[in-house]
Structures are given as C-alpha cells and as structure tokens.
Structure 1
Amino acid sequence: MSTIKLHAGVIEIIDKAQKQCLWRGIDEHKRNGNLVAWDLVQKAKNKGGLGVINLKIQNEGLLVKQLHKFYSRAEVPWVQLIWESYYDNCVPRASRPVGSFWWKDVLSFHSSYREEASCKIGNGSSVLFWQDSWLGGILQDKFPALADFASDIHASVKDIQEPNDLAAIYLLPLSAQAYIELQELESLLNESQFNIHEADEWSFPGAANQFSVSRYYKHKHDHIQDQYKRHVAPKTFVSLARQELC
C-alpha cells in the first residue's frame, strides 16, 4: 500500500472480506446481513464507529508520504535519482508524468499534497510562481491581470527570480491594470527572502511540521460527510458489533 495505488476493485474485494468477517464471524453460512452501513463502521470509535481503516484514504496517505520525501529532497537514493533524471530544470507538478507506473501513482496525489503542505522558499526550484500557494496565497488569483501577461504561467519561483529583463517574464506591453499589479507584486517580492544555495523546505501542520500518515488520515477522514442516517445509537451499535465478533 505504500508503493502502489490500489485499484478500486481491489479495495472493494478487501472490504467485502472484512464485512463478511465482521458480520458472519466463523459461520460462513450466516445470512443476517449487515447491521449498519460500512461508512459508519469506518468512523472513529469516538464518533460512533468501530474505527475500521478506510483503505482508500490509508493508501493515499502512504503514497503522499513518498511524495513528501520527494519534495523535501530526502537523502535517499530514489529521491535523488528521480530529481536528476526527470526534474533537473522543471517543477514536477507542471511537467508531463514520466517514469514508472509506481511513480505516476505517487504523482497523482499532487493536489492532495499541496492542499496541506506549505513551503519555506529556498531557491524556488520546486514551487510554481503563479499557481502554487506562497507569498500569502496563489499569485495568479491575487494578480489576475498581470498573470495574463506571463510568458510562462508554469514558471517556477526560481525562473522568475533569475532574469532581470521584464521581456523574459512578461508579454510586453502590459495593460494599465497589469502594470499596477506588477508594482504591488514587486513590493511583495522585495520583502521576501530567497536563498539560491538552499532547497525549498516543505512542511506539514502538526508536531515538528513533519508529515504523519495518521494525521493525514484523520484530516481526510474527518472531512468525509456521513450520508447515511444513524438507525442504531453508537453504544448499541458497538455492542452489537462486539457480539458479532465473539
């Protein structure tokens, strides 16, 4: 689960086996049916469920952990190999997916990763200037008129910082509104600190800003809305489930 994105059909088969184990026990001929929706079974115990792991979210969390190692440039051989082989001069999220099927599975969680992660800019090589959240937000949203004149909307922060010629960054001439936004943006950039000798530092909210699969799982699972009405009170449900397991 930490290397391959499980197919929906595989998860369905595993969930089916878990349901049979929970409701039938050792009696394979038992036909009482499910006592409650599987979504409720997967809820945390303190929310009325049994805390059975949601395999889809757990699988996603384990793969996002690999993505975090990649963006953090962890000192492991596969991270260094992928950066040097595919992304020496480009931002991964703005590039066409390349590499093994395993790596493409990991890349499919770019959006999930960047929803939670924040970046302390170093050399800016892993951050999209216009489309990533940095400098207080997404610059394409904050300066839409100026972004329309960008010569490369997928440029990295490093790409924008290096040229001294506006013509290398924007399609000139700028409109009046774009010029106003350019002045505002330059003011923000002058207050920012860049270090071309350091890598970008990606972090997650939580203890020591380190990525945690359990925290990721809890965050994602807590946002799942229960679409089923509760027909059994939590304590009664847990009691019934325990009886089934005995």
Structure 2
Amino acid sequence: MPKAAWEMVTVPKKDGGLGIIDLQKQNEALLMKNLHKIFNKLDIPWVHLVWEKHYRNGKLPGTQRKGSFWWRNNLKILEKYRELTVVQVQNGQSCLLWKDNWIDGSVRAAKLKYPELYSFAKNNNISISNALVNNLPNHLFHLPLSTLAFSQLQALRGNLEDLNALLKDLVTEENLPQKTD
C-alpha cells in the first residue's frame, strides 16, 4: 500500500516534495526529441535508416503503425507531439495538411480550424505538397460540399496560396544545389 501520492513525490524538493523524476514524463520528453529529429530529417544515421526503411514510399510517420517496438512507442505520442509543435513549412513533404499546426504559426490544426471541410476530406493524411499539386476540390474532397464547407474551402485556399507564394520565394536559384564539375 503506497504511503504517499505519486503527485506529491514528484514535486521538486524546493517546493516540499521528494524531487523524484516522473519516469513516464521523462520518457515522453525523450521520445518527442526523437520525433523532432525525424520530422526535421536531421543528418543522423538512424534518422536516415527510419526514413529509408519505413517511409521511402512517401507515407509520413504516423500514417502507418509499423516498425520496431521502439518506433511504435514513438508513434504512440505522435498526436501529443503534433499538438505541441508549430510547423515551419519548407517543401511540404513531411507536413500533414489536416493534422499539423502550420496555419499562421498557430497551435491549431486545419482539421480544428475548418471542421466542416475536414469532414468532406478524401485523405486525412495528405501532405501539404500533395495538396498543392492536387488542389482541385474533386481530388481532395467528397463532393458536393455544404455551404459552410465551401466557405471554409475558400479560407483554406487563401492559406495555401499564401504558403505557396512563400515556398516559391524560398526556392530561388540561390537556394538550389549548385553543380560541381
């Protein structure tokens, strides 16, 4: 039978607790660091291995629940990671249109900002780059749209146009890889 509540035990010593680390929170924090490395495609051998082994077909992490027990543990906290992060879109390949927080730098995913439109989405796991390529409503949504969904589509199109203009500004000749002879 426990002698003290776990919440009290993990309180820092200076605040009257025992200062014991909550291992579950510590583990989640370390797993989130792994997710950060994966989504930012850091130049680390194990990151390259994960992308090559599990996601070379263009599917993004979290859309398929496969891999080692270690990787599946990372994916268990993916939703929490997405809730806490704001994405700075580079090429849009590893950013999900509906689930990641990319609109106006806010911590609010498109599925929450445009819930009626999201209910008509054909693919809930589409990346931003694929959405920009297949931006016709019949490719992205089940038609016909409701009046509210159509007005949300107009707003989402505005967000995507702003993003597309920003991406075109980022991809200039200066940013392209240079040929070496």
TM range (shorter): 0.7 to 0.9
RMSD: 2.4
Call closer, same or farther: CA 1:139–1:107 in 2, change over 3 Å: same
Contact 1:73–1:80 (CA under 8 A) maintained in structure 2:
yes
Q: Distance in 2 between matches of 1:65 and 1:90?
A: 21
Q: Quick one: structure 1 residues 119 and 164, their matched pair in 2 at CA, closer, same or farther if it must change by over 3 Å? A: closer
Of all paired residues, the percent bearing the same amino acid is: 36
Shift of 1:38: 4.2
Pick the aligned partner of 1:55 from 23, 41, 60. 23
Q: Which residue of 2 aligns with 1:91?
A: 60
The 3 A distance-change label for structure 1 pair 177 and 60 is closer
Rg larger in 1 or in 2? 1
**Structure 1: any 5+ residue segments left out of the alignment?**
1-15, 17-32, 198-246
- The Cα shift of 1:96 comes to 2.4
Displacement after TM superposition at 1:100 (Å): 1.2
- Of 129-138 and 67-76, the range deviating more from structure 2: 129-138
1:113 matched to which residue of 2?
A: 81
Query: How far did residue 50 of structure 1 move?
Result: 2.4
Query: Which residue is equivalent to 1:224?
Result: none
Are 1:75 and 2:46 an aligned pair?
A: no
* Counterparts of residues 185-200 of structure 1 (less than 5 Å): 185-192=156-163, 193-194=166-167
Take 1:56 and 1:147, find their aligned partners in 2: how far apart are those partners?
33
Tell me the SS of whatever aligns to 1:43. Answer: coil
User: Following superposition, which runs of at least 4 residues in structure 1 exceed 4 angstroms of deviation?
Assistant: none
- Residue of structure 2 equivalent to 1:42: 10
SS of the equivalent of 1:97 reads: coil
1:59-93 deviation line (CA, Å, top 9, x unaligned): 22222222221112111111111112222312212
**Number of residue pairs the alignment of both structures matches:** 164
Q: In the TM superposition, what are the counterparts of 1:109-188 in structure 2 within 5 Å? A: 109-135=77-103, 136=106, 137-188=108-159
Q: Distance in 1 between matches of 2:161 and 2:120?
A: 21
How far off is 1:174 after superposition?
A: 2.5
Contact 1:145/1:181, CA 8 A, preserved across alignment: yes
Aligned-pair CA distance for 1:44: 1.0
Specify which structure has the bigger relative contact order, considering alpha-carbon pairs within 8 angstroms and separated by 6 or more residues. 1
